[in-house]
Every structure is written in structure tokens, then in C-alpha cells.
Chain A
Amino acid sequence: MPSQDTIRFIPERCDGCGDCMTACAKAKGGASRISIVGSGGGGWDIALCRQCGDPKCVANCPAGALDKHYGSGIVGWSQDLCVDCHLCTIGCAYGGIVFESAAGHVQKCDLCDGTPACVPACGKGALEHLSAAARLHETHADKEDLFVPGLSACQGCNSELLIRHTMRRIGRNSVVAAPPGCIPGMGTVGYNGQTGAKMPIFHPLLTNTAAMLAGVKRQYERRGKDITVVALAGDGGAVDVGFQSLSGAAERGERILFICVDNEGYMNTGMQASGSTPFGSWTSTTPVGTVERGKSTDGKYLPQLMMGHGCAYVATASTAFLDDYHTKLEKALAASRTGFAYLHVHAPCPTGWRFPAAMTTEVCRRQVESNFVTLWEFTAEDGLRFTHAVDRPRPLSDYVGMIGKYKHLGNAEIERIQASVNRRVAFLKGFCRQPSAAE
């Protein structure tokens, strides 16, 4: 089943016949999980589970009976664990989970294992089964791929995926900076008179990406031209030597979108450690020997630092959750019209981290499922919001065990990483806006 599916309702096609409800009730037994309700003004609306990215029903459940499955995207309900408290129904704003007296417990849509019965039952075409892939295709397929075919990225690298999606969205009316690292290393800026992108693109220094882009943007603003300026930087060019110019540009509120593609080290030059490299990692400058056992300190967590810079938008993302990335890219681009926008994309590196190339997306997914990576967005107005909250993370060893750079770690070292993951999640939760008394 494709990940992150949902059912789209097109209200202007609905005549309120209720065929979808009949089909659902028949397919699932008992009452229908989809309800057609009057929307006022003679129109129709639906009450149906949205399979939310940040499901409030899951957050409200005290019994662990509801869970968001990150592979399928479905919010699942377990009758065995449910204690019939109904707190989930209070959390949901969509009428997506409701108590059915005939059944004697709550019910919700489970998308019928990928072939929802309601959709073909609707003769008016008011319901569409939409996967995340379909949604992305609908939104972006007609946009031009501005990245050349045939790049020299390592097998399994997810940066090419990220760059193609990003360039398609930002389009030709843009200026892109790719400081030294894997991204120009794979040919993005080109070699000897040839280019890798169908748009203005350049090599800044590793140190000055944000400052150079600020100069570009200021001149176009002076000339009254609305040009999107975007950095595609690695963690070295953002966390380490690039940090000063990044910090200065963010503080000044330069109208830039800065995307940090974090592969936790200098992977392009031979897998040396950066400030972003996590504790315990083997790298070529934090090797494992008889005295030292990989990196001895925790990595610097740049997205947290960017929250302190008065940015218009700060968010983290993972290529295992492209839908989430696109939503954040959209918000970041809008924010970069008025201020500094920062996106931190976690980018596991099969070559430098030592895992099979085919496992990149699974590694990305387990980073999120274990809370090693948290997906969130932050604005000064709304505080921090988790876009894929993982309240019951899988054991960190499920993630760490996949990665060659951690293979020397013992239980004590993994527990240390677990403790720092727990601290980070707790710290980030402190930035969430508390619901006011009126809510």
C-alpha cells in the first residue's frame, strides 16, 4: 500500500445520496465510518478520518489504543487496548473517530487496506482515493525538472531526490547557491564550462553562502524584481564554517530560503566529522581505535539554534516524508518573501554511514520512528508544532543497528544516545504553544 494515503472529498459533486455510507457499512460491518452531513447553505460535507500527520486522537488516547503507522500513514485503532474513554473523539475536529452505540466502541476509517469501498460506490465522483505520491504528482508533475540527468551522486543518495523536488518547485525565476560539498560534487554547478542546472546557480565559498545570497537578493529587491534565492548547503557549510554568515543573515532577516542537507559530516571529502556528527559516530577524523571509540561529543543541533534567530520560518524534514517536505517547502518559500526561512533536511549517507544503498529511505523512516530525528516546524507566532509526532518511538537500536558507523557501539553508548534523544524531544516540546484556557 502506498504511504500516506487519504480520501479527498469534492463537495460540489456530492448530492448527499449516501451511497458511500451504504458501501462502507457493508464492507466493514456495522455503522459506516464515513458520514455525509449537511454543511449549511444546502451543501454537503463529510465526517471522516483524515489520517492526520499530527493526529490529536492519538495524542489524547491514554491507553495506547491509537497509533500513527508511518509506513502506511494510517491511524490505527486497537480494540484490545481501548478502554472506551472516548477522549479520542474529543481530540478529533473532523468527526473522524466516533462512538457507535450499536458496536459498543469507537470506529474509524482504516482505508480498507488500500482499496476503500466508499470511493467506487460514489457515482458522482465526489470521493477520490489519493495517495501522497498522487498528490505530489498532481501538484508537481507538470513542473520542469531543472536538474540535469546523469549525475555523479553516490548510489542511494537522497540528495538528488531532494534537489529535483526542490528545483521543480522553486522554478527558473530563482538563484541557487550550492557551497562546496556533495551537492556541487555531484555536478550541480558543473565542470569546465558545463552546468548541472537549468537556472542561475553558483559555488559560494563553504563559509559565505548566506552572505552572498543576501547580496544577490538585496540588489534584486532594489531593482524591484521578485527573485527566489535558495541555498542548498551541507551541514559543514551551515553548522561549522558557514555558521557565522548564516547567523548574520538570519538575524538581519534577509529574504532567503536556506536549506541545510544534513548528512552529519564531511561526506564529500572522505567522511570527516563535522559539528553535526552525533555522539559515537565513526568518521575518518573520529575513528574507532583502542583508545577512542568514535565521536566523543553530541552533535550540534542547528535547527534549534535557528529558532533563536528571529527567522520567519524554521522546520526540519526527512525525504521519507516528502509530502511533509513539500508542505514545509511551500511555507518556507512564502516565509522567505518577508524574512529568513530555514529548512533542515536529514540526509542519511549510504557511503559515509555504511549502510546498503537500497536502505536509504528506510533509514530515514527509522530515524523519525525512533525520534532520533523529529519533524517539526516553528514560527515565533505559533511556536513549535510536531508534524509527525511519535509518542511511542521504536527502540533506538532499530535505527542504530542499521548503520555501519555505529556498529562498534555497546549498550551503554546506545543508552547515552537514547538519553540525548529523550532530552532533545523534551526540550523541543517546551517550545510548543500551550492551548489557552479558551481552547
Chain B
Amino acid sequence: MNQHVNSSRMIVCDGNEAAARAVVLARPDVVSVFPITPQSSLVESLAQFVADGALGAELINAEGEHSVLSALQGACLAGARTYTATSGPGLAFMFEPYVRTPGLRLPMVVSLVTRDMLSPQCVWGGQQDAMTVRECGWIQIYCEDVQEVLDTVVMAFKLAEHKDVLLPVNVCHDGNYLSYGVSRVELPAAELVDQFLGQPEVNWHIALDPERPMSVDPLTGGTGPGGAASFVGYRKSQVRGMAAALEVFSDIHAEWGERFGRHWAPLVEEYRLEDADIAIITIGSMTGAGKDAVDAARDCGQKVGLIKVKTYRPFPREAMIAALGKVKAAGIVDRSVSFAWDCGPLHQDVMTALFASPLRLPLVGFIGGLAGADITATHFERVIAETTRAAGGNVPSSPVWLNEHD
């Protein structure tokens, strides 16, 4: 690979390659991989970058996702900056070490190339996999386009390793739409990214190191002396780290904007919301079509805006409330379902945030884009129409399934 260290350059690539190129820029020590659709081309790119010498990392071709994440845990405890990517069933197989990683406070970055979950048997995009693990203590970030994938994977290392945070980060990009969608992106200069990220410090708090011998993760809690208090202390500090992530990530985005000229909204993006009557709320790659639909509606004189959720865990409650305070109704488009009741998970989070504020407004739930289904401008016209009716008091009691008759 041609190394342009001092200046950025334009390239054309898909979201998987963009993520892999971001990893090259982040210079991890250890990368472990196992292929799965639609993530495979991402790890193939990483392996090629290692083979070509562009990425000077230890590459572990593990025999499954469970070992992939386990090897990264060991490497991280030995001081390595680490990365992998997975999807769907791979994430499910990874679950046992996955739930353990935040409690160990291991600051790794793992891309989720999101995919709908089995069964019915399915290999296409969706967000059910990532949404299923939303309560595991990982930070979850969702990207809108290929450039945002590249920039966010780099920023995620800085977020994960920040001493007030020290948590693993999932950078999610939608399977198929972003994994395979080719676009023109700017590749930042390696030297500038080095200055931005600095040297990794990942195991200052917990280490497997003969120079700092310690017992890592002894039994904690139960009825032993100080056990309960000790366990509570660990859990509470984990929750504090999660809460701190919102401000830290905002600062990181501000610095990124200054250094590289791209100013992404770190938590939620407000698009044409200032004088809007209603908002549609989106997450992930559907946002692009949502923005086109908002523009078209604006051209017809409708006062419509959009709220894009970028940081989903921790949920940016205050930023969401501030955005919702500007409109009379909102339509939430989920790309997955919640089995708690008849709605999507993002819908639930928005409702929960609203209830924690004095604000009350009608919310309409939409579920679309399951199993690779396209959410088109036509679908968003329906979202806008239903949400407009809700603003007038006509709120449907159950979600609208956008692709039910496609």
C-alpha cells in the first residue's frame, strides 16, 4: 500500500475496506480475525494489509469468534492495542468473552458489520445482532456512511482508551449497505492520525505482566470479607465510565473536526430541525435516505426534520430530549425489533428518555430494513405522513412495518 504519511488523499472504497484502512491508521498491536458474511472482506483486507507490511500487527487467524475475542483479551492484558470485527451469529458465538470485556475494562475496538439474526436463516443486513447486545456494557456507535465509518473507527480507539472511559467500543456499520457500498472517502494522513491517537495505554489498570505481578480477576463478591462492597465498587465505576463516554466522545469529535475538517455530530445529529413540526429519528445507513426524504418534503413545504442517533450506548438522553423539544411529534425508524413489547429498541429508548423529562409528545414506531430490505424514499414519505397525522392526535397503537408488503 502506498503510504502517504503527511497528507490526506481521496480513495474509493466500500465500508469494510474503510474500516480496515482506519485500523491500519490506528496501528493496533494484535488483530484477530474470523470471517463471516457480511464482514469477511473487512478481515480479508486486514490480512492483506498485514501481508503487504502496511499493518505491522500480530495477526491471529483464530478458529472462531469466541477465540478471536479471547485472544484479544489476553493481548490487551499484555498491553496491546487490539481490533477485530464480526457480525450476526459470530457475535452470538463471541458472547461469553464479549460480556466479560467491559468488566475487565479492556479498551478494544470491535466493528459490528450489522446483520439480521437467525432464524429465519438470513445473511443480510439488519441491526438485530448489535441491538441484542445493547445491554452488555460495550459502547455502541452507529455510522451513516463510509467516510463516517473510517473516521469513527479511528476515533473509537481514542474513546476506548480514554482514562475516564476505559471501555470496549463497537463501531457498527450496516451489513450490505455500508459493508459493500462503494463511495469516495478521504483517507487521513498517517502522521496526523498518530498525533491524534498517541501511544496506546491499555493495561495500566490491570495487567498480565511479570514486571507487575498481580492476580487478574480473582473471585469477587459473595459472602467473603469485603466481597459485596468490592463488587459494587467495580460495577459502579463501570457505569461511571459509560456515563463519561458522552462528554469524552464529544470532545474527541471536536478535536477530529479541528484536525481533519470533518465535523460529525458525536451523539445525535439534528438535520433541518430548527423550525420543524415533526422529526424522523434514524440510526445507521438509513439516515441518508431519510435526509433525502426530508429534503423532498421541505421542497413541498412540509416542516420536517431528522434526528440521527450516532451514539446509542450510552444513550444520549439529554441530547435526544433537546432535539425532541423542537418538534410536536416524532417517528422512530428501527431496523430491528424489541421482544419486550411491540416496538423497536430505539423506540423504547426514546420513550424512556422522554419519560425522564417533562416533555411529552406523540411517538410513532416504524420497523423497516429487516433482512436486507431497502428503506427507500417512498418508505420515508410514509414515515413523514404517519408522523404528521400523529402530530394531529392520530397515533397508531402499534408499529408500522415498512417492508410488510414490499
Contact = CB atoms under 8 A, between A and B. Distances in A.
Interface in B216-241: 216-221, 224-227, 230
Given A192-B227, A211-B71, A215-B73, A205 B78 contact: no
A336 B217 CA distance: 26
Interface residues of A, number: 46
B97 A192 contact: no
A200 B58 contact: no
Nearest to B219: A191
A248 B32 CA distance: 13
A164 interface: no
A392 B343 CA distance: 73
Contact of B218 (A173, A193, A244): A193
B235 to A, nearest CB: 14
A396 B78 CA distance: 47
B219 A218 contact: no
B42 to A, nearest CB: 20
Interface stretch (B10-18, B60-68, B302-310): B60-68
B46 to A, nearest CB: 15
A291 B66 CA distance: 39
B61 A252 contact: yes
A202 interface: yes
A393 to B, nearest CB: 38
A251 B220 CA distance: 34
Most interface-central of B100, B210, B218 (chain A CB within 10 A): B218
B218 A199 contact: no
Contacts of A354: none
Contact of B70 (A192, A212, A219): A212
A175 B221 CA distance: 24
Given A215-B78, A218-B75, A222-B30, A200 B210 contact: yes
A173 B219 CA distance: 24
Given A175-B210, A215-B70, A193 B216 contact: no
A213 B215 CA distance: 15
B14 to A, nearest CB: 29
Contacts of B218: 189-196, 203
Interface in B183-229: 207-210, 212-221, 224-227
Contacts of A385: none
A28 to B, nearest CB: 53
Given A193-B230, A205-B96, A218-B71, A244 B63 contact: yes
A202 to B, nearest CB: 4
Given A189-B219, A198-B213, A215-B60, A245 B67 contact: yes
Interface string B76-111: 111110100000000000001100100000000000
Interface string B34-69: 000000000000000000000000101111101110
Interface residues of B, number: 46
A155 interface: no
B215 A216 contact: no
Nearest to A180: B219
Contact of A212 (B61, B73, B225): B73
B35 to A, nearest CB: 14
Nearest to B76: A215
A198 B209 CA distance: 12
A293 interface: no
Given A193-B230, A195-B214, A222-B29, A216 B77 contact: yes
Contacts of A173: 210
Contacts of B219: 184, 189-192, 203
A216 B67 CA distance: 13
B257 to A, nearest CB: 33
A216 B29 CA distance: 11
B74 interface: yes
Contacts of A227: 210
B97 A245 contact: no
Most interface-central of B32, B60, B68, B70 (chain A CB within 10 A): B70
Nearest to A197: B215
Contacts of B213: 172, 198-200
B66 A244 contact: yes
A219 B60 CA distance: 11
B215 A195 contact: yes
Contacts of A204: 70, 74
A200 B221 CA distance: 21
A208 interface: yes
A200 B70 contact: no
B286 interface: no
Nearest to A201: B215
B65 to A, nearest CB: 10
A193 B74 CA distance: 20
Interface in A382-398: none
Most interface-central of A190, A202, A204 (chain B CB within 10 A): A202
B72 interface: yes
A437 B64 CA distance: 46
A219 B210 contact: no
Contact of B62 (A202, A211, A213): A211
Contacts of B209: 175, 200
A218 B58 contact: yes
A174 interface: yes
A272 interface: no
Given A192-B226, A245-B67, A205 B100 contact: yes
Given A192-B226, A215-B72, A218-B30, A208 B215 contact: no
19 contacts: A172-B210, A189-B219, A191-B218, A192-B221, A192-B226, A195-B215, A200-B208, A200-B214, A205-B96, A208-B70, A208-B96, A208-B97, A214-B71, A214-B74, A219-B58, A221-B58, A222-B30, A227-B210, A244-B64
Closest 6 CB pairs of A and B: A215-B74, A248-B63, A195-B215, A208-B70, A215-B75, A202-B216
Given A174-B210, A197-B215, A219-B79, 16 more contacts: A191-B219, A191-B227, A192-B224, A192-B225, A193-B230, A195-B215, A200-B207, A201-B215, A211-B70, A212-B74, A214-B71, A215-B70, A215-B77, A218-B71, A219-B74, A222-B80
